[in-house]
């Protein structure tokens, strides 16, 4: 689902990637339409760094991101399995096992 990032989204993107300065996707030149793919693919050095970056979000901020993942508004398509594994661990911790299973199924559908 394509969306325009709102003020809350930009706040979260900046928390996860303080070096973000409003630029668009380097590959396409299009404004970001999700939070996790740019953090994973443009700012994180590796899965450990990605884990640190998503860990900067409070539980409430992360729940907002979980809600976006559940509705399909947050893309999981461009996340490598290694990065998704780290994300799934945080989802399980903050949102519970059932939520992690639902988002895992969405990831499997998007990335199949």
Question: Residue ranges of the domains in the chain?
Answer: 7-110
Q: Are 38 and 14 in contact (CB under 8 A)?
A: no
pLDDT digits (tens, 9 = 90+) for 41-94: 999 999 999 999 999 999 999 999 999 999 999 999 889 999 999 999 999 999
How much is the average pLDDT of 104-111? 88
Q: Are 24 and 31 in contact (CB under 8 A)?
A: yes
- Structure confidence at residue 30 as a pLDDT band (50, 70, 90): low
Q: Give pTM, 2 decimals.
A: 0.90
């Amino acid at each position: 689902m394509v969306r325009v990032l709102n003020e809350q989204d930009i706040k979260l993107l900046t928390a996860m990637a303080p070096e973000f300065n409003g630029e668009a996707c380097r590959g396409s030149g299009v404004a970001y339409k999700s939070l996790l793919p740019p953090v994973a693919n443009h700012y994180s050095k590796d899965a450990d760094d990605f884990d640190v970056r998503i860990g900067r979000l409070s539980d409430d901020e992360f729940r907002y991101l979980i809600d976006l993942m559940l509705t399909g508004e947050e893309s999981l398509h461009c996340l490598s399995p290694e990065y998704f594994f780290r994300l799934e661990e945080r989802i399980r911790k903050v949102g519970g096992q059932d939520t992690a299973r639902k988002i895992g199924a969405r990831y499997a559908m998007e990335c199949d």
